[in-house]
Structure 1
Amino acid sequence: MREEHLYLVTYDISDQKRWRRVFNVMNGFGEWLQLSVFQCRLNRRRHAELVALLDGMIHHDQDHVLFVDLGPAEQVNPRVVSLGKDFEAVTRKPIVI
């Protein structure tokens, strides 16, 4: 498997319909943390695919999407202060079909 990085992706979308479309795309790429925040384990190909999809959806003069690269997914140990629910960095799990 290609090396994956852990990303924190957050977005501010001004239109509710566009926000819902972005949320649905993000749900296929990562794990939902909060209203407009996801954590994603992505290799370079999946990162480029997600960037291209979102780039085609948003209105660049009204919306904002931010990708924060936390580093190699297997080595990253994020220092997070979490109030309320526990925070766990997303891990790779086997998928049974």
Structure 2
Amino acid sequence: MRHRVLVCYDISSDKRRDKIAKACESYGTRIQFSVFECPLDELKHQQLKAELESLINRDEDQVLFVTLGPESGDASLRIDAIGRPYTKRSRVVVV
């Protein structure tokens, strides 16, 4: 079964960022400068993760994989990260 996965990245090097973008273009559609929507089955998801992991600097870069659920539209959110760990941000608004 294929799932909709958002791939979002924060890459500190222009050269690495270009390589990440090129790799992501092979799997999905760019929806923002550093965000791709990719319809992936489990094998393609693991292949993309491995490919991107080989391109990043684990101390400086971060790639998030946000699984939105099956392509059928049922939503179930899962967030995985490689590189810098993902931390949930507080929702406190300061005005």
Both structures adopt the same fold (TM-score exceeding 0.5) = yes
Query: What are structure 1's unaligned runs of at least 5 residues?
Result: 78-97
Q: Output the CA distance in 2 between the equivalents of 1:72 and 1:16.
A: 33
SS in 2 for 1:14: coil
Q: Output the CA distance in 1 between the equivalents of 2:38 and 2:6.
A: 6
SS in 2 for 1:61: coil
TM-score where L is the length of structure 1: 0.75
TM-score where L is the length of structure 2: 0.76
SS in 1 for 2:54: helix
Instruction: Give the corresponding residue for 2:31.
Output: 33
Instruction: Give the corresponding residue for 1:20.
Output: 18
Letter in 2 for 1:54: L
SS in 2 for 1:75: coil
Matched, 1:6 2:8: no
Q: How many percent of aligned residue pairs carry the same amino acid? A: 40
* Matching residue within 50, 70, 73 for 2:71: 73
Q: Which has the higher strand share?
A: 2
* Contact 1:6/1:39 (8 A) holds in 2: yes
1:30-69 aligned at under 5 Å gives the runs: 30-69=28-67
Letter in 2 for 1:14: S
Letter in 2 for 1:11: Y
Offset, 1:74: 1.7
Letter in 2 for 1:71: G
* Contact 1:7/1:41 (8 A) holds in 2: yes
Query: What are structure 2's unaligned runs of at least 5 residues?
Result: 76-95
The number of aligned residues is 76
CA RMSD of aligned residues (A): 1.4
